[in-house]
Amino acid sequence: MAVVDAVHLKKTYLLGKVPVNALRGVNLKVEKGDFVAILGPSGSGKSTLLNLIGVLDKPTEGKMLIEGVDVSTLNDNQLTDLRRQIGFVFQFFNLIPRFTARENVELSMAITGLNKAERRKRAENLLETVGLKERMNHKPAELSGGEQQRVAIARALANNPKFLLMDEPTGNIDSKTASEVVSLIKRLNDEKNVTIVMVTHDQRLAGQSKKILQMFDGLIVQEAVN
């Protein structure tokens, strides 16, 4: 069964008073272990699609199935539970500034109710995986963009998600540190078989993926396998 199965997704929202057709019928299947990169110009509907896959938003038309479950049948609490099994990585990291790297990773496990000792141990392991064990007691402001993004990736992995969703993960990082993030993402997919769906402008990062989807004007216009 596909991890993500989007069937003829449409999404219309109002920009002021003007209706915008952000998605105009998108079909997408993501299998376990996939590494999908979505490319396209601004306004082509990449982020809207990502929000729908991440059940942060609901489609206007069409069906969104996560592991076979139609998300339109779920209530708010069930959607929240589902969100706990999806790892989000944002362009602007979205770490909590007052928490250290370790506390940020722990937070997502605290939300699911894991006890303190366990989540501490797991946070340390995850930060070791992303190569930040030495810096885990630093706050985001004391970390470089690349390091912050690696903390965010560690946080996204904390609850053993079904898949990772990444919104331009290298979009806000200088190219030097970006390469660390790129190789980390590649390694997660290669070695740990983590399923990844990612929106990016970064050609180098897209080149690492297994499948590239080209979006234009609310539709997937081209599909290529690397």
Partner 1 sequence: MKAQDIFSYSFSAIKLRKLRSGLTTLGVVIGIAAIVALLSITQGLQNTITVQLQTGLATDTLIVSAGGGFFGGQGGINGANSGFTLLINDTQLINGLENVETSIAIIQRVGYIKSDSGQRTATIVGVDFAQYANVYSSTFVAESGTIPLSPPNETVVVGKRVSDPWKNETVLFNPDDTVEIIWTNGTARPPRNETYTGTVNAVLKEVGGFGIGGPSDSSIYISISKAESFFKTDECNQIIVKLVNSEKATIDSVSDAIRTAFNREVSVVSSTAVLNTLSSVFSIIQLFLGGIAAISLLVAGIGIMNIMIVSLMERTREIGILKALGMKGRTVLLVFLCESVIVGLIGALIGTASGWALANVVARIFVAGGGFGFGTQAAQTGALSSTMIAPVLTPTVFLGALVFGIGVSVVFALYPAWRASKLKPVDALRYE
Which residues contact partner 1 (rule: CB under 8 A)?
51, 54, 56-57, 76-77, 80-81, 83-84, 88, 90, 94, 96, 98-99, 107-108, 110-113, 115, 155, 159
Name the residue with tokens 């605290």: 110
SS3 119: helix
Cα angle value 42/14/201 (rounded, 5°): 15
Please name the helix (run of DSSP H) or strand (run of DSSP E) that holds residue 118, with its range, or none: helix 116-129
Residue 112 or 175: the one with the smaller Cβ distance to partner 1 is 112
Of 169 and 208, nearer to partner 1 (C-beta) is: 169
15 sits in which H/E element: strand 4-15
The single-letter code of the amino acid at 110 is A
For partner 1, the closer of residues 109 and 206 by Cβ is 109
Name the minimum Å distance from CB 175 to partner 1. Answer: 25
Q: What is the nearest approach in angstroms of partner 1 to the Cβ of residue 165?
A: 9
Measured from the CB atom, the residue of 196 and 212 that comes closer to partner 1 is: 196
Q: Kindly state the smallest distance separating residue 88's Cβ from partner 1, in Å.
A: 5
β-strand 4-15 against 61-66: which pairing, if any?
A: antiparallel
Tokens of 91: 């362009």
By the 10 Å C-beta count (0-12 exposed, 13-18 middle, 19+ buried), 187 is classed as middle
In the complex, what is the shortest distance from the CB of residue 223 to partner 1, in angstroms, rounded to a whole number? 26
Cβ closer to partner 1: 73 or 115? Answer: 115
Q: How far is the CB of 111 from partner 1 (least distance, A)?
A: 5
